[in-house]
């Protein structure tokens, strides 16, 4: 009996160890892939050429997001749904890290609210660093980030950080009027953990960055920013 229990304990330990090793190996692979892509995109003097090279690898790569003060420095992909890139990297390979991806509904040539998702990974990758904005000092000191969409680089000014339900309508992509858009902004302000009071006239473009959070079931840490 004791021998059987010992064998079971050893088997359980080996299984757990294997799972841990597998996680760290996948984490290493993900970081290595991210570094390789970053080197292509950020190659000095290459500029647009680097972005086109990335698109040559995967036509679903539509942009790049870079947030100074964080580890967020990734390509943005957009698929035919919001499921595929939850479990696949930018090369289309299965990955627990998934990808940074734009909502499949978004037409970024006309939508006022672009929505970008990324996993909250325990190894500090993908959109995990968004949770830093829940610290008031970090929110105050880190006000902007850059996004390149199909070669057009824009700077966004962060105006709110929220913890919201994944079912809430912050995921609305377009608005029928200025009034509806301004009502949306007011709702974001009302629900924000921190809010930076910047002016809105109703025609601005905003972006929503969303990742998992753990304050309650289906919670999301959400960063809202206005295109400058």
Element (H, E) at 1: none
Which is catalytic among the residues 119, 120, 184, 224? 119
CB atoms within 10 A of CB 111: 19
Q: Are 129 and 121 in contact (CB under 8 A)?
A: no
DSSP 134-160: GSHHHHHH--EEEEEETTEEEEEEEEE
3-state secondary structure of 193: strand
Active-site annotation holder among 88, 97, 120, 212? 212
Do the beta carbons of residue 225 and residue 206 sit within 8 Å? yes
Contacts of 187 (CB under 8 A, 6+ apart): 170
Residue (of 132, 148, 156, 162) closest to 69 by Cα position? 132
**Is 212 noted as a catalytic residue in this protein?**
yes
Phi, psi of 36 (to 5 degrees): -65, -45
CB half-sphere exposure, 28, CA atoms < 13 A? 6
CA 178 vs CA 46, 113, 192, 200, 201: distances in Å = 40, 13, 21, 10, 8
Q: Which of 228, 226, 196, 191 is nearest to 114 (CA)?
A: 226
Active-site residue numbers?
119, 212
């Amino acid at each position: 009996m004791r021998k059987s229990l010992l064998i079971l304990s050893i088997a359980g330990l080996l299984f757990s160890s294997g799972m841990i090793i597998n996680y760290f190996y996948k984490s290493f692979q993900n970081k290595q892939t991210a570094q390789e892509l970053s080197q292509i995109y950020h190659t000095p003097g290459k500029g647009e050429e680097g972005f086109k090279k990335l698109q040559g690898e995967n036509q679903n790569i539509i942009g790049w997001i870079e947030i100074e003060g964080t580890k967020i420095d990734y390509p943005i992909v957009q698929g035919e749904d919001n499921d595929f890139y939850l479990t696949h990297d930018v090369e289309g390979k299965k990955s627990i890290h998934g990808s940074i991806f734009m909502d499949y509904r978004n037409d970024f040539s006309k939508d006022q609210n672009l929505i970008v998702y990324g996993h909250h990974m325990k190894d500090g990758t993908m959109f995990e660093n968004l949770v830093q904005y829940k610290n008031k000092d970090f929110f105050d000191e880190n006000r902007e980030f850059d996004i390149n969409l199909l070669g057009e680089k824009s700077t966004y000014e962060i105006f709110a950080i929220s913890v919201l339900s994944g079912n809430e309508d912050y995921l609305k992509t377009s608005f029928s009027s200025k009034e509806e858009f301004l009502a949306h902004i007011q709702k974001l302000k009302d629900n924000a953990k921190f809010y930076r009071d910047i002016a809105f006239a109703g025609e601005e473009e905003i972006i929503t960055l969303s990742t998992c959070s753990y304050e309650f079931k289906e919670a999301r840490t959400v960063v809202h920013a206005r295109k400058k």
